[in-house]
């Protein structure tokens, strides 16, 4: 019988200790693989979410905070931008598209994002993939809402369903907008990004439901019901059309520029015209002025050429009268990784120590079994096995135990990834797909297997010397 066969038979005879040893090594290997796979996939998921956005602009805060609340729905803005600044950014000649982000409401624990139709037309993720609708369509009515895939799946939302938003973020709801219900007009296809974790409404509707909240508490007498808001929007659109009909031909360039402002509603466009003719309308606010959003939380920008991103970022960050913060999403993510780098290193050290503990457990099991196996070694010697062959038997056993532990650890890590995937998707909007280790990780696992053999050298040398001495003893 070959040495591997003998080693397997020996381990079967001591199956209890062998199973415990394999389990210890498997847990250690699973921890090593899981930590690394989670780290790599989370980073990939974060990059996938911002790959189509060139700049993110918000009020002065930390770059990481701006990135987290605007894209990943983590945290809240400490300050907002004036809506006029968004219009200026959208009209910048370097900007191809601009998507406003307005936060402050939630629906059953999921954040509500006030935005524009440009979100569904221009936003890109995963290297240029566009958002698609699984059901329904985008905004048609002022009080339409579009649900992300994960929200629709968990809450059972479908086109036509009525929803009532709540003032506040996450699970903290201060007031429900009962008088201003929304209708789900569409459900987005799954993206595996934080887009799946939100509900999207028109930015002017986001403003409409907050009219009467200027003092921090609702004032029912000043609130708009949906019919009033729709009437104002229709009046704003009519006045906007009339204004353009009477506008001189020299304004055609301004009209072309306004067409690039994807996030501006008809009410906002009218208000821009009102500002141009301010001296004619000071006596009363126009319908457009009533519905025009006053603030946005952040603006996502796509540029005509990515080469202009650094220059535009520098120019925006140098403004002093009305300061802004413009960030490159990729660089902000690098800053986030530097912040979390220490925690990652600690996890790596801990998982390395767990592997060491697993190998030490195997060494303890092998050493503890030497006295019990003295008779087994004597039988092998009597059958003609040489001392070095008996020593090799222990090395082969250690190799088998370590290999089985690695295999079981990989399966355990795979199962853990499957189990953690729903939680990660729910918490961060990041889709985690279980994967096998990369090539360099297989080298690490091979190194661990070699370490298992090295650990077994001590009991192997002890067995070699003992069997050699037993063979030299003279028995009467």
Task: State residue 6's pLDDT score.
Answer: 61
Place of tokens 């992300």: 148
Both tokens of 215, joined, read 């003092």
Domain boundary among 281, 304, 327: 327
Task: State residue 373's pLDDT score.
Answer: 66
The residue among 276, 221, 269, 228 whose CA lies nearest residue 250 is: 276
The answer as to whether 332 is a domain residue is no
- Dmax (CA) for the chain in angstroms is 125
Per-residue pLDDT tens over the stretch 381-401: 556 666 666 667 778 888 888
- 80 and 222, same domain (yes or no): yes
Strand partners of residue 133: 188
Angle, alpha carbons 18-19-20 (nearest 5°): 90
What is the domain extent for residue 128?
Answer: 55-327
Task: State residue 410's pLDDT score.
Answer: 94
Counting the structural domains of the chain, the total is 2
- 31 and 175, same domain (yes or no): no
The pLDDT averaged over each successive group of 10 residues in the chain (476 residues) is 66 77 90 87 84 92 94 89 92 95 91 93 87 94 93 94 83 70 94 91 88 65 70 69 58 47 44 43 52 87 92 93 92 90 87 88 78 64 63 79 92 89 72 78 91 83 66 46
What burial letters (b/e) apply to 184-215, b meaning 16+ CB within 10 Å?
bbbbbebbbbbbbbbbbbbbbbbbbbbbebee
Task: State residue 439's pLDDT score.
Answer: 82
Say if CB 327 and CB 15 are below 8 A apart: no
* Complete DSSP assignment for 20-89: HHHHHHHHHHHHHHHHHHHHHHHHHHHHHHHTT-SEEEESSS-HHHHHIIIII--S--SS-EEHHHHHHH
The pair phi, psi for residue 127, each rounded to 5°, is: 75, 30
- 295 and 357, same domain (yes or no): no
The residue among 350, 348, 355, 353 whose CA lies nearest residue 450 is: 355
For 384, other C-beta atoms within 10 Å of its C-beta total 7
For 174, other C-beta atoms within 10 Å of its C-beta total 14
- 231 and 359, same domain (yes or no): no
State how far the Cα of 401 lies from the Cα of 447, in Å rounded to an integer. Answer: 15
Task: State residue 376's pLDDT score.
Answer: 63
State how far the Cα of 467 lies from the Cα of 388, in Å rounded to an integer. Answer: 9
User: What are the residue ranges of helices labelled H in 173-320?
Assistant: 203-208, 226-245, 252-259, 266-276, 287-291, 309-317
The answer as to whether 131 is a domain residue is yes
Domain boundary among 327, 356, 382: 327
pTM for the structure as a whole: 0.75
């Amino acid at each position: 019988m070959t040495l591997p066969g003998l080693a397997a038979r020996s381990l079967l005879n001591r199956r209890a200790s062998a199973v415990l040893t394999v389990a210890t090594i498997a847990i250690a290997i699973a921890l090593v693989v899981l930590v690394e796979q989670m780290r790599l996939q989370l980073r990939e998921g974060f990059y996938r979410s911002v790959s189509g956005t060139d700049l993110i602009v918000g009020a002065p805060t930390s770059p990481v905070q701006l990135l987290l609340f605007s894209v990943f729905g983590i945290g809240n803005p400490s300050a907002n931008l004036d809506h006029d600044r968004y219009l200026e950014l959208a009209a910048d000649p370097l900007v191809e598209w601009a998507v406003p982000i307005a936060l402050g409401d939630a629906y059953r624990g999921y954040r509500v994002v006030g935005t524009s139709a440009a979100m569904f037309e221009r936003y890109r993720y995963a290297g240029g993939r566009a958002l698609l609708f699984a059901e329904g369509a985008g905004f048609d009515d002022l009080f339409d809402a579009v649900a992300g895939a994960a929200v629709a799946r968990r809450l059972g939302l479908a086109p036509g369903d009525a929803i009532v938003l709540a003032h506040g973020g996450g699970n903290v709801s201060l007031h429900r907008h009962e008088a201003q219900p929304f209708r789900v007009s569409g459900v987005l296809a799954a993206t595996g990004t934080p887009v799946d974790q939100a509900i999207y409404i028109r930015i002017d509707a986001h403003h409409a439901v907050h009219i009467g909240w200027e003092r921090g508490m609702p004032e029912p007498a000043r609130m708009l019901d949906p019919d009033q808001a729709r009437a104002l929007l229709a009046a704003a659109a009519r006045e906007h059309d009339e204004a353009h009909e009477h506008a001189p031909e020299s304004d055609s360039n301004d009209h072309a520029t306004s067409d690039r402002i994807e996030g501006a509603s008809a009410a906002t466009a009218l208000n821009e015209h009102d500002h141009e003719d301010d001296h004619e309308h000071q006596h009363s606010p126009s319908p457009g002025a009533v519905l025009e959003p006053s603030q946005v939380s952040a603006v996502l920008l796509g540029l005509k050429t990515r080469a202009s991103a650094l220059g535009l970022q520098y120019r925006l960050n140098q403004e002093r009268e009305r300061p802004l913060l413009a960030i490159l999403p990729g660089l902000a993510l690098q800053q986030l990784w530097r912040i979390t780098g220490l925690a990652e290193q600690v996890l790596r050290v801990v998982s390395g120590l767990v592997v060491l503990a697993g190998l030490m457990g195997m060494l303890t099991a092998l050493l503890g079994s030497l006295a019990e196996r003295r008779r087994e070694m004597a039988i092998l010697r009597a059958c003609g096995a040489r001392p070095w062959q008996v020593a090799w038997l222990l090395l082969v056993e250690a190799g088998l135990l370590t290999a089985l532990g690695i295999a079981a650890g990989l399966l355990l890590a795979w199962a853990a990834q499957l189990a953690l995937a729903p939680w990660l998707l729910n918490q961060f909007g990041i889709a985690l797909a279980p994967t096998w280790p990369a090539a360099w990780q297989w080298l690490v696992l091979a190194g661990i297997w070699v370490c298992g053999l090295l650990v077994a050298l001590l009991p192997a040398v002890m067995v070699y010397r003992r069997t050699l001495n037993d063979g030299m003893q003279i028995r009467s």
